[in-house]
Amino acid sequence: METTTAVTTTRHNQEPRRGLLQMITIEPVMFIYMCSTFIKFPVFQSLLYEKACLEKYFMDFERCSDVSAVHADVDLQQRANHLLMISTLFLMVPSIFSSLLLGSLCDVWSIKSTMLIPFIGLLFADVNYIVQCLFMGSNAYFLILSDIVFGLTGGFNAIIGILFAYSVKANKTSVRSERVALLEGIIGLGSTIGSIFSGFIRQKIGYTWIFVIITVMHVLAIGYILFFVKDLNATNSEQSSQEEQAVPVGLRQSISRRIREIGNVYCGRERDPKTQRFLNLVLIALAIELIGFAGLMDILFSYLRYQFKWTDKEYGWFSGTGSALGSLTVIFVYPFLHKGIGLSNAILAIIGLVSKMSNLVILVLASSNWVAALSVIPLAFSRFISTGLRSMASFYVKNHEQGKIFSFIALLEGVSFLIASFIFNGIYPLTLNFFPGTMLLGVAGALLIPVIFLIYIQMNNGHPTTEEPERDSLAA
pLDDT (tens digit, 9 = 90+) per residue, 326-346? 888 988 899 899 888 989 999
Q: How many CB atoms lie within 10 A of CB 12?
A: 18
- The Cα–Cα gap between 352 and 354 comes to 6
For residue 453, tell me if it sits in a domain. yes
Name which of 393, 394, 327 is nearest 2 in CA terms. 394
Q: Using the predicted structure, report yes or no on whether residue 420 has a pLDDT greater than 70.
A: yes
Average pLDDT over residues 451-457: 95
Residue 145: pLDDT band with limits 50, 70, 90: very high
DSSP assignment of 214-256: HHHHHHHHHHHHHHHPPP-PPPHHHHHHHTTTPPPSSHHHHHH
Average pLDDT over residues 24-35: 89
Tell me the residue length of the chain: 476
For residue 169, tell me if it sits in a domain. yes
Q: What is the pLDDT of residue 66?
A: 66
For residue 13, tell me if it sits in a domain. no
Average pLDDT over residues 97-114: 75
For residue 159, tell me if it sits in a domain. yes
What percent of the chain shows pLDDT beyond 70?
78
Whole-number average pLDDT of the chain: 80
Q: What is the pLDDT of residue 166?
A: 83
Q: What is the pLDDT of residue 79?
A: 84
pLDDT top residue among 165 and 384 = 384
123-135: burial string, b at 16+ Cβ within 10 Å, e else:
eebbebbbbbbee
Domain range spanning residue 197? Answer: 30-462
Q: Using the predicted structure, report yes or no on whether residue 35 has a pLDDT greater than 50.
A: yes
Q: What is the pLDDT of residue 140?
A: 87
Average pLDDT over residues 244-263: 56
Number of domains within the chain? 1
Q: Which residues lie below 8 Å from residue 318, measured CB to CB, with a gap of 6+?
A: 195, 304, 310, 372, 373, 376
Average pLDDT over residues 222-241: 69
For residue 374, tell me if it sits in a domain. yes
CATH number reported for the structural domain that contains residue 356 in this entry: 1.20.1250.20
- 3-class secondary structure, 464: coil
DSSP assignment of 276-342: HHHHHHHHHHHHHHHHHHHHHHHHHHHHHHHHH---HHHHHHHHHHHHHHHHHIIIIIHHIIIIII-
Q: What is the pLDDT of residue 237?
A: 41
For residue 362, tell me if it sits in a domain. yes
For residue 93, tell me if it sits in a domain. yes
Average pLDDT over residues 437-453: 96
Q: What is the pLDDT of residue 256?
A: 67
Average pLDDT over residues 15-27: 60
As a dihedral over the C-alpha atoms of residue 94, residue 100, residue 106, residue 107, rounded to 10 degrees, the angle is: -170
Which of 146-160, 168-182, 291-305, 311-325 has the least mean pLDDT?
168-182
Q: What is the pLDDT of residue 462?
A: 59
Average pLDDT over residues 255-276: 70
User: Angle at the Cα of 458 (from 453 to 461), degrees rounded to 5?
Assistant: 125
pLDDT top residue among 233 and 40 = 40
pLDDT tens-digit readout, 43-72: 898 888 888 888 887 777 777 776 665 556
Average pLDDT over residues 137-146: 90
Average pLDDT over residues 155-161: 85
For residue 442, tell me if it sits in a domain. yes
Contacts of residues 90-93 at CB distance under 8 Å and 24 or more positions apart, as own/partner, are 90/144, 90/147, 90/148, 90/151, 91/147, 91/148, 91/150, 91/151, 91/155, 92/151, 92/155, 92/157, 92/414, 92/415, 92/417, 92/418, 92/421, 93/151, 93/418
What percent of the chain shows pLDDT beyond 90?
29
